[in-house]
A and B are shown apart, each in its own frame.
Chain A
């Protein structure tokens, strides 16, 4: 992991309401039809992801949008804008491709902004996942042992050290509680959630 940006959303909003708010923003985003509306919302979600301290791989998302658009252009529909040899750029295909590509990356932005590893899933599976994250942290602590040259030998040593199959009680000790980074939901947090949710719903209703 490179330099970590602070999660500015996490100061006010706890993991569960945050996830719920993200989910509530998804339907109007998916239902919105216009290119401008989609692009605006995707930009808003990108802003949220940046506020969440996520490093977005802009190049990757750009390539994704461009390639989706390119493949849509290959099946022309609508007004012919430009003709470059056999390659025809049509307004309908261009618009559909951009909408599809932007919809997909916007979804990822929103997801990245609203999902925290601290999010706890309910039930027995949630507990098991807690154990998995506990071990994940434990293996990560020892990752320096890993060497590219002797990958398998070093991996075996690392695993032996972190989870010895011959010990009395497997994975002894810790309860599997994730480190408590959790903030309390503040009044301001609820207000911010509500404001953020209103933006996509408002845009969707107005455009319709």
Chain B
């Protein structure tokens, strides 16, 4: 059996360091992520603000379309009369909200499950 050489030990230590780093990397996922929580017709919907997409929700008046784009959530279209919800524009800070009252669609931004690392943005109030 050959003796191990100096670089063998160094590479071994390096790989231990990489494993340790990977533990931290894996633990950091999803921390403090913001999500849009939507209530419509007694159902709850979830849309993380980090992923673009859209949902069409049914309500008493008709359809309401909720969009997430560039880290913001907004109602892009609704079958209500006044379109106040569309006019409210995008929101992206914790506790902020948009809603379409005639169609009973309520969209609220909340901090993700871990909550850690997200400070409540004072500007939201």
* A/B: CB atoms within 8 Å of each other: yes
Where the two chains meet, the residues of A that have a C-beta atom closer than 8 Å to any C-beta of B are 74-80, 86, 88, 90, 92
What residues of A have a CB within 8 angstroms of the CB of B51 in the complex? 75, 77
Interchain CA distance A74-B46 in the complex, whole Å: 12
Please tell me if B44 contacts chain A, counting CB pairs below 8 Å.
yes
Q: Are B113 and A78 in contact (CB under 8 A)?
A: no
What residues of B have a CB within 8 angstroms of the CB of A76 in the complex? 35, 46, 48
Interchain CA distance A76-B30 in the complex, whole Å: 11
Q: Are B44 and A79 in contact (CB under 8 A)?
A: yes
Interchain CA distance A74-B29 in the complex, whole Å: 11
18 contacts between A and B (CB under 8 A): A74-B30, A75-B30, A75-B51, A77-B46, A77-B47, A77-B48, A77-B51, A77-B53, A78-B46, A79-B43, A79-B44, A79-B45, A80-B44, A80-B45, A86-B113, A90-B45, A90-B46, A92-B53
Report the count of interface residues on B (CB-CB < 8 A): 12
What residues of B have a CB within 8 angstroms of the CB of A88 in the complex? 46
What residues of A have a CB within 8 angstroms of the CB of B55 in the complex? 78
What residues of B have a CB within 8 angstroms of the CB of A74 in the complex? 30
What residues of A have a CB within 8 angstroms of the CB of B47 in the complex? 77-78
Where the two chains meet, the residues of B that have a C-beta atom closer than 8 Å to any C-beta of A are 30, 35, 43-48, 51, 53, 55, 113
What residues of A have a CB within 8 angstroms of the CB of B43 in the complex? 79-80
Interchain CA distance A86-B113 in the complex, whole Å: 8
Give, as a whole number of angstroms, the nearest-CB distance from A71 to chain B: 11
The 9 A-B residue pairs whose C-beta atoms are closest, nearest first, are A80-B44, A76-B46, A79-B45, A90-B46, A79-B43, A86-B113, A78-B45, A80-B46, A77-B47
Give, as a whole number of angstroms, the nearest-CB distance from B109 to chain A: 15
Interchain CA distance A76-B55 in the complex, whole Å: 14
Nearest residue (CB) in A for B57 is A79
Interchain CA distance A198-B55 in the complex, whole Å: 34
Interchain CA distance A7-B48 in the complex, whole Å: 48
What residues of A have a CB within 8 angstroms of the CB of B113 in the complex? 86
Give, as a whole number of angstroms, the nearest-CB distance from A196 to chain B: 35
Give, as a whole number of angstroms, the nearest-CB distance from B56 to chain A: 11
Give, as a whole number of angstroms, the nearest-CB distance from B113 to chain A: 6
Interchain CA distance A79-B113 in the complex, whole Å: 17
Known: A76-B35, A77-B48, A88-B46. 4 other contacts (CB 8 A): A75-B48, A76-B46, A77-B53, A79-B44
